[in-house]
Structure 1
């Protein structure tokens, strides 16, 4: 059975024994399993004792048996490895499975690759909330900035490394294509392309592992410092003990980071990066604020903002120098009853990441998530729950509807586990101005067409999805919600002035009705609703929308004798 994957290592060992020149030659033969032999000397001693073999044979028998076991064991492993490699060559999709198995074995065997284990995970939120409302708040902000800089450097190194590799690959492929028929054949070009693809995948995996290891180490270190610093402050009568061991440890970390920044040389490319960061910080191009009162009898005051900006402006940090100031309000309200959220229009296919979701993932990965799971882990759980929801829908449908539903699933190649109007929520602590993100599933390309003005009504699934989002917000202490007013994150050529006005008017009227419903859900709590218009809208269209908003949200009162035109805010 040698060379087979089912080979269990059973062999027959033969040894010729000569006890003298005039003595007959004796043969020693016994079965042995080369995979189960751990001590050759012990086995030889037992065999010699059982067969009454003279002691002068022991040395030769030891050497012979050891060489036999080593050679047979090596041959067995080589044959099995060759068969496994051939199996992978026949089916390259097995590579990912093999990599996962090997990675899992490394995690379970080596401490260096094992995931970090927090000693007191349940104490971290309470400790953080205690410190962020204490004099230690500034220290936490500086620590987070330090970790953010380390992640930014790693991502910058990754980008440079991949860029250099792409340039080298481009040069190699260009040279090979130019010399096809002379130095290279078409088969050589195909082999080169395969090799370059494998090199790129290997480089990507290398940087992903480095990123994961760095963020896990940062999270473990940060959580441990927060818990111990909170305990130290409580022992010092809620005062920051500047001579305490934990405080000194944090200061050493911060001083070490400052020292490295002082001696580092400035790269000319940093000037370009600083210019781009300034562009991001100026993300709000036009804005207008309103105060409205909604309700039939008991009126509730709300703030309405109309903003022209990129949706991800509320997630990015505008500049490293202003990061502490931007993080302050978000961190203070992280564990509170005044949360902030935005609504992102996303695709129903959870297995792919494109458009604004891809940009959003890049923003999330620009710094370590200390309080919640990573975006990738949260999305993985969403996929599992989406499959369960899909099965429940399938069971609740009639037989004809079930057949049609299964056909739709098959047409979408098994990725259509979410329907238009569904949404899922991700939690974040490393974004600029938001804590929660509602990912509203919709066909954004269809929502931007001219025909959508007639198909998208107050009963459309996306509009109903907004209603469900506001209902969740009212029951989970979300006081600030940012909504794409046009149900789109970018403007196209098909989007005209009249299209913007009609779509905005529809969304405003629906949101107004949902907000009046919210008063019955939560008893009437003041909130801030922020309507965001994609960049590129004309000033004329913005002026029209800012005059439309108070008309939609107008309230009548017999005691208010102020002329209507004076109620309009000035820009």
Structure 2
């Protein structure tokens, strides 16, 4: 089969009573229009303008005839190749079938909708319908059941720990008389085995409860949706479910107390030089987990779902998601510090839409090991040491070692500036959590805009602009708790650095967001004083351009002012 062929085109015309002949090669098929090809001929050969019509007609007829011959020759060559056996008929049929089913929409297989997609569509429909209250009450009832299991588990483990502590103290006090060193070791081993047995028992019970709740919740959501689509006069499933889920418990005495308020300042800013975009800036002083945990809310002495839960549920399957940046250490498979506290918040209720946190971290660990092996390559330096080059979320960092052990162990640890993402539907004000790895270098007072944590903020903001995360909470001081080295100059310098970097990143990423309004929440630790909070708040208008209203005073001597 010929992809193209060159033919000779001849055109005779009269110029100044003399006949002239134009002969040029033409590649068939022609990839440009006839008018454009004719214009090129006239320009390159300086042809007179009065022959344009005749040249166009002759050229069009030539191209049409030669193209038709070229197609006929190719078709005949393809038929001959099948007849003489040079092309397998089965392979030809398979290629044609694949072309029709994959490239022609009319013959392609219809896209199958998964159960997860169907459930998400149904949930989004119900959460924006009169069944909203019923669904939230049911989720809240399930959360209370999970909370009861967790309370009993913690009490059981605490009682076991106290009992084991007393036994161990008695054994250590009588070493050499009633107990030997071997007895102490056996007692410690028995205590460990008992603790593991009790923990496994409660973990199994909690897992079974969550699986049962997920199955029942999805079945009930589907039945509610089915009943809402029918116009039956019989009591609908929504009414029956409301009756089942309306038996919310009375609030305890400590739950009736008002929740502590948090310091908060809000601003409206403009970004951009010519095409200005309006964004919302909010400065918060609270604990980072307060944005995740469901706080007790009572009305009339009855515990009801938290109001923030309504907004989070309604925007779950939308293009207005909420994100949170949480600072963590470089170990994926450990529950210490902030990660342990966050996991305790996540386990307080069942996540009906995403996998549990343990499962997601397990999958992230598997993918991280693969990614670290791919992004790492080793080169030998002049001394024969192995240098491992790793690409982090903020750039490239190099570490060297003289053995393979250190390189192998580093595959199981994250680098400073790396981050991983988890999705949640059971948190208070958050859908997406960015777990940003930070080490002790963020406590230094002289970090620059090239620090891995700062550069990772750029990547996170870029993801927010790309994937419809319209609200993102950023730890302004790059820490979740106040320490001794965080003096007033330290806090002011760090706040100014993060303010300016985030402003630059938002202007840079504006091309991804189609000029949509965003909400940036800057979070400072709860231990910050009110004076320092006001100083940081007063700094914000000096860095961002605020949106000031135009005040018009009517009257004979009035003037316009900003």
Query: Fold match, TM over 0.5?
Result: yes
Partner of 2:388: helix, strand, or coil? helix
Distance 1:202 1:242, change over 3 A: farther
8 Å Cα contact 1:394-1:405 kept in structure 2: no
After superposition, residues 344-363 of structure 1 pair within 5 angstroms as 344-363=326-345
8 Å Cα contact 2:269-2:547 kept in structure 1: no
Partner of 1:125: helix, strand, or coil? helix
Structure 2: 5+ residue stretches without partners? 1-113, 298-302, 382-386, 390-397, 554-560
Give distance in 2, aligned partners of 1:174 and 1:418.
Answer: 40
Is residue 424 of structure 2 the alignment partner of residue 465 of structure 1?
no
Report which of the two has the higher share of helix: 1
Distance 1:362 1:291, change over 3 A: same
Is residue 423 of structure 2 the alignment partner of residue 424 of structure 1?
no
Partner of 1:402: helix, strand, or coil? strand
Give distance in 2, aligned partners of 1:465 and 1:249.
Answer: 50
Partner of 2:305: helix, strand, or coil? helix
The counterpart of 2:376, out of the listed 366, 384, 394, is: 394
Give distance in 2, aligned partners of 1:399 and 1:368.
Answer: 50
Give distance in 2, aligned partners of 1:163 and 1:229.
Answer: 42
Is residue 141 of structure 2 the alignment partner of residue 146 of structure 1?
yes
Distance 1:409 1:489, change over 3 A: farther
Q: Report the equivalent of 2:159.
A: 164
Distance 1:202 1:432, change over 3 A: same
The counterpart of 2:223, out of the listed 224, 228, 236, is: 228
After superposition, residues 6-405 of structure 1 pair within 5 angstroms as 120-236=115-231, 243-244=235-236, 246-247=237-238, 250-251=241-242, 253-254=244-245, 258=248, 261=249, 271=253, 274=255, 281-282=259-260, 284=262, 286-320=263-297, 321-395=303-377, 398-400=379-381, 401-402=387-388, 405=399
Partner of 2:283: helix, strand, or coil? strand
8 Å Cα contact 1:304-1:529 kept in structure 2: yes
Distance 1:398 1:555, change over 3 A: farther
Moved more, 465-474 or 224-233: 224-233
Q: Report the equivalent of 1:435.
A: 431
Cα displacement (A) at 1:415: 5.5
8 Å Cα contact 1:306-1:546 kept in structure 2: yes
Cα displacement (A) at 1:342: 0.6
Instruction: Give the number of the structure whose alpha-carbon radius of gyration is greater.
Output: 2
Give distance in 2, aligned partners of 1:254 and 1:556.
Answer: 46
Cα displacement (A) at 1:185: 2.2
Give distance in 1, aligned partners of 2:334 and 2:140.
Answer: 31
Give distance in 2, aligned partners of 1:232 and 1:120.
Answer: 19
Moved more, 411-420 or 124-133: 411-420
Give distance in 2, aligned partners of 1:399 and 1:189.
Answer: 51
After superposition, residues 506-521 of structure 1 pair within 5 angstroms as 506-521=497-512
Give distance in 1, aligned partners of 2:142 and 2:329.
Answer: 32
Give distance in 2, aligned partners of 1:526 and 1:398.
Answer: 47
Partner of 1:453: helix, strand, or coil? coil
- Give CA deviations for 1:146-184 in whole Å, capped at 9, x if unaligned: 100000000000011111111111222222222223322
Distance 1:181 1:486, change over 3 A: same
- Give CA deviations for 1:399-458 in whole Å, capped at 9, x if unaligned: 444386473984483454422111111100000011100111111x3212xxx222x211
Give distance in 1, aligned partners of 2:140 and 2:310.
Answer: 12
8 Å Cα contact 1:141-1:324 kept in structure 2: no
Instruction: Give the aligned length.
Output: 421
Give distance in 2, aligned partners of 1:142 and 1:435.
Answer: 20
Give distance in 2, aligned partners of 1:419 and 1:201.
Answer: 32
Give distance in 1, aligned partners of 2:187 and 2:128.
Answer: 58
Partner of 2:327: helix, strand, or coil? strand
8 Å Cα contact 1:242-1:248 kept in structure 2: no
After superposition, residues 419-568 of structure 1 pair within 5 angstroms as 419-443=415-439, 445-448=440-443, 452-454=444-446, 456-554=447-545
Give distance in 2, aligned partners of 1:366 and 1:232.
Answer: 31
8 Å Cα contact 1:351-1:415 kept in structure 2: no
Give distance in 1, aligned partners of 2:413 and 2:179.
Answer: 47
Distance 1:536 1:379, change over 3 A: same
Q: CA RMSD in A?
A: 2.7
Partner of 1:250: helix, strand, or coil? helix
Partner of 1:433: helix, strand, or coil? coil
- Give CA deviations for 1:61-109 in whole Å, capped at 9, x if unaligned: xxxxxxxxxxxxxxxxxxxxxxxxxxxxxxxxxxxxxxxxxxxxxxxxx
8 Å Cα contact 1:283-1:310 kept in structure 2: no
Distance 1:187 1:242, change over 3 A: farther
Q: Report the equivalent of 1:46.
A: none
With normalisation by structure 1, the TM-score equals: 0.69
8 Å Cα contact 2:495-2:536 kept in structure 1: yes
Partner of 1:431: helix, strand, or coil? coil
Give distance in 2, aligned partners of 1:501 and 1:435.
Answer: 30
8 Å Cα contact 1:518-1:524 kept in structure 2: no
Distance 1:253 1:560, change over 3 A: closer
Give distance in 2, aligned partners of 1:367 and 1:560.
Answer: 49
Q: Report the equivalent of 1:85.
A: none
Cα displacement (A) at 1:328: 0.5
Cα displacement (A) at 1:492: 0.5
Give distance in 2, aligned partners of 1:431 and 1:481.
Answer: 15
8 Å Cα contact 1:308-1:532 kept in structure 2: yes
